[in-house]
Structure 1
Amino acid sequence: MSAALKSLKESEQLPVLLARQPIFTKNQDVVAYELLFRNQTGEFDNSVTDDRATLSVIVNTYASICRDGEIRSLPCYLKLTDKVLLDSSLPELPKETFALELLGHTEVTPPLLDKLRDLGRRGYRLVLADYDPQDPRFEPLLEIVHVLKLDILKLGLHALPAIIQKLKRFNLELLADKVENQDQFRQCLEMGFSLYQGFFLSKPVPVRGKKIGGNKVVLLQLLAELQNPETTAAALEQIAVNDAALTYKILRVVNSAAFNLRREIESLSHAITLLGLDQIRRWVTLFLASGEVGKPDELTRNMLVRGRMCELLAELMGRSQPINYFIVGLLSQLDVLFDMEMADLMEQVPLRQEIKDALLNRAGELGEVLDDVEHYERGEFEALRRLVESAYYEVAYRHSLAWGQQVMQAMSDN
């Protein structure tokens, strides 16, 4: 049993499935995460506020981010019903970690309004979701909350300017929700939204005739050589010497906390001898999928988490060659990173056919794991195939968040 698999099986299991969705500024920097959670049977569950272990995991893992080489904490939007907010047993949640989000079906009563005013006075940031400008019950809430989420798909982009104009007097921070592509993001940016949420980072904006940049040529040569079962450390090092900066970066990462090595690795051939070809294949793939100018860190972060979670689920299932699952997960957003169609990319990237099939069509055993991980990270827990026990999805996701953070830190130039 690998160390990672042993750690997964020994980790404390939580009573809920948890995922996080980033909330961006207009510069596409992450300023908060929305928590997505359900109980093990797929039902919405407020026990997340009652379980100390769960709250500890949220504070230490889900609210944590690596930025410019430093580990920081960001607030998490926590969805709460009016019933939970008014419950006298609601624990004292750390206000620096949690922003409290009211759901659209909230029953607005005088006791609830009093409770919200009290929470605001105590320093809690209050968010209102599912706003409907035609529903008068939201009016008193607009005087109390700090952030207002506008579902741009439900309300319609064409209707937003008039709605925003009427909301100006409340001096609210407006969050554009359900932003699905870069064109919608641009339109919302022009309307003056300050926060953005949705899957717009997951959609490429293909540039016709674009090729993979010259700085990735060495990585492609290495990846091609790594597909050769008879390759040697010397052959790989001979390719890597053409890019000294790349070799330095690979050595820096493998010497980082992501590996916990007892002795420093000084050359690529030394790394191959100690770690094996699978680990080198991992890092070559990683560097192929990172460092594109103009792309936000959250994209690389998500690619890392997705790759690692695919690999961990494969290990839990006893699948052979878990490294291939890592590669599939990591490269599944390569089209977004390079702004190229995935089919065009697959013609330029030397990968096994089963990996290409998974990336293009979510086909085969590799594809089904990737599909499950994509559902999980979106909070679509009801769509999971249940390839492993339900609780292990959260454990694998949690470990992947922590691992991705370590790698982001190791890859930083600071």
Structure 2
Amino acid sequence: MSQQADSSQALIARHPIFDSQQRVIAYELSYHQDTSLNDMLAGSPESDSGSEMILSTYTSISDQGEIKRVPAFLPISSSMVANMPNLPTKQVVLLLKLPEKPDRAFAELLVGLAKQGYRVTLSIPEYKPQLDPFLKLVKIVKLDIQNIPAAELQQQAASLGKVKVTALAANIKTIEQLETCIEAGFKLFEGSFLSRPKVVKGRRIGANQVALMQLIQELQKPNAKPEILEEMIIRDPVLTYKLLRIVNSAAYSLVRKVESISEAVVMLGIDQVRKWATLISMTSNQDKPEELSRTLLIRGRMCELIADGENLPSPGSYFMAGMMSGLHVMLDVDQATMLEQVPLGEDIKVAIASYEGDIGNVLKQAIAYESGEWEKLPADFNIALFEAAYRHSLDWAKEAMQAMYE
């Protein structure tokens, strides 16, 4: 089932850019180093609509039930600009890296892009006054905070503010670093901080959360009975309400309304109820940014599609592993505590804890793909399957989250 990379198969992943309220305002797209910008924007194997289709797929999200499109930050090199295809300027922000020795030619390139209507983000190692002539030609300046001492972050942000550019703090790895950057005065934020919980030591998972996990565990049983599931679901009024609302939403176009949980279970099937119950559990914590739920939905669905494409048994278990791999972040506990307290199958626990077994292997590869860490994927992995699984998972997550609010 292996497939080698070729010019028509682009590997693309997206990474959220947040405002200070942890709302997604854009996505930075990363693509394989061997893929040209033209190849990436040529369109998927299922469409000839080119860059518009690709940008729509990777920048359309459901935000509180409303479908919206956010801009795409596209990393390009100075040498790529001359051969760059025409791009929708309202949808695209070009991301350029500051050359080691920026010169007049680079300044003229920035001026030319601005005249064409493009917004430009400039990635720099750190602020220096001598960079002002270049910074004044762009809209956003991106700083990797791991290269800057914490004590200097406020001064860096203040200096960028004087140049009247928006300061973007990148490579934020923890919630604590995010809070530091917000206090320092940065306006935009990017990094892996969503995957790191702000652990509350000694915290126990709430009884209602455990009950929901017990329901999900019951849903994994191939012989689960609708009556038993109904008994478990109706213990939680919010879960009952949301599940019935989803079943009766436009997503299912039913002839008549479903009025009981057991009827919903029969009509949807165990697999669908399992997914929705898991989704509801992931979105029940209002203190967490919606992007975290979105990420775990995409990961779970991607794992399931890969398992199905590779003809692995019980694809639903792969979905559960992907979704539950970030549950500890939702609960503000460390992963070991979560796995100890939550009733999950042993194969899923092992997959989450140490990436062992078939489920763990797929989970590890899905995480590498979504992070754009292509070098962590095996040389002979099924490129077409992974690319299609990720792309379809983006659409599925958008539709699923929209149905939650219908």
Report the TM-score when normalising by structure 1: 0.88
1:180-200 Cα distance to aligned partner (Å, 9 max, x none): 001111111110000000001
Hey, what's the Cα distance between the residues in 1 that align with 2:31 and 2:208?
40
Aligned match of 2:93 = 99
Q: 1:47 to 1:262 in 2, by over 3 A?
A: farther
Q: 1:97 to 1:31 in 2, by over 3 A?
A: same
Q: Secondary structure at the match of 1:178?
A: strand
Whether the 8 Å CA contact 1:227–1:351 is kept in 2: the answer is no
Compute the displacement of 1:119 (Å).
2.7
Aligned match of 1:6 = none
Q: Secondary structure at the match of 1:127?
A: strand
1:232-279 Cα distance to aligned partner (Å, 9 max, x none): 111111222222331221233244465566765443222322333232
Equivalent residues in 2 for 1:36-47, closer than 5 Å: 36-38=30-32, 43=34, 45-47=36-38
1:116 pairs with one of 110, 120, 137:
110
Q: Secondary structure at the match of 2:169?
A: strand
State whether structure 2 residue 326 is matched by structure 1 residue 333: yes
Hey, what's the Cα distance between the residues in 2 that align with 1:63 and 1:164?
27
State whether structure 2 residue 58 is matched by structure 1 residue 62: yes
Whether the 8 Å CA contact 2:239–2:277 is kept in 1: the answer is no
Q: 1:333 to 1:15 in 2, by over 3 A?
A: same
Hey, what's the Cα distance between the residues in 1 that align with 2:9 and 2:190?
26
Structure 2 unaligned blocks of 5 or more? 1-6, 44-48
Whether the 8 Å CA contact 2:167–2:186 is kept in 1: the answer is yes
Give % identity.
38
Q: Secondary structure at the match of 1:96?
A: coil
Letter in 1 for 2:14: R
Paired residues, number: 395
Letter in 1 for 2:333: M
Hey, what's the Cα distance between the residues in 1 that align with 2:142 and 2:56?
26
Aligned match of 2:172 = 179
Whether the 8 Å CA contact 1:316–1:388 is kept in 2: the answer is no
Q: Secondary structure at the match of 1:16?
A: coil
Letter in 2 for 1:78: L
Compute the displacement of 1:57 (Å).
2.9
Hey, what's the Cα distance between the residues in 2 that align with 1:319 and 1:182?
36
Q: 1:259 to 1:359 in 2, by over 3 A?
A: farther
Compute the displacement of 1:156 (Å).
2.7
1:296-331 Cα distance to aligned partner (Å, 9 max, x none): 100111111011001011111101100000000011
Q: Secondary structure at the match of 2:11?
A: strand
Q: 1:229 to 1:161 in 2, by over 3 A?
A: closer
Hey, what's the Cα distance between the residues in 1 that align with 2:242 and 2:62?
18
Hey, what's the Cα distance between the residues in 2 that align with 1:280 and 1:225?
11
Whether the 8 Å CA contact 1:81–1:106 is kept in 2: the answer is no
Aligned match of 2:182 = 189
1:157 pairs with one of 150, 154, 173:
150
Aligned match of 1:213 = 206
Letter in 1 for 2:219: L
Q: 1:383 to 1:207 in 2, by over 3 A?
A: same
Q: Secondary structure at the match of 1:294?
A: coil
Letter in 2 for 1:185: L
Q: Secondary structure at the match of 1:34?
A: strand
Whether the 8 Å CA contact 1:147–1:175 is kept in 2: the answer is yes
2:15 pairs with one of 18, 21, 43:
21
State whether structure 2 residue 274 is matched by structure 1 residue 281: yes
1:82 pairs with one of 52, 55, 78:
78
Letter in 1 for 2:107: L
Compute the displacement of 1:221 (Å).
3.6
Compute the displacement of 1:206 (Å).
1.3
1:390 pairs with one of 374, 383, 400:
383
Compute the displacement of 1:163 (Å).
3.0
Aligned match of 2:369 = 376
Compute the displacement of 1:122 (Å).
4.2
Structure 1 unaligned blocks of 5 or more? 1-12
Whether the 8 Å CA contact 1:219–1:287 is kept in 2: the answer is no
Aligned match of 2:42 = 51
Letter in 2 for 1:17: L
Whether the 8 Å CA contact 1:48–1:55 is kept in 2: the answer is no
Aligned match of 2:398 = 405
Superposition CA RMSD, Å: 2.4
Compute the displacement of 1:350 (Å).
1.4
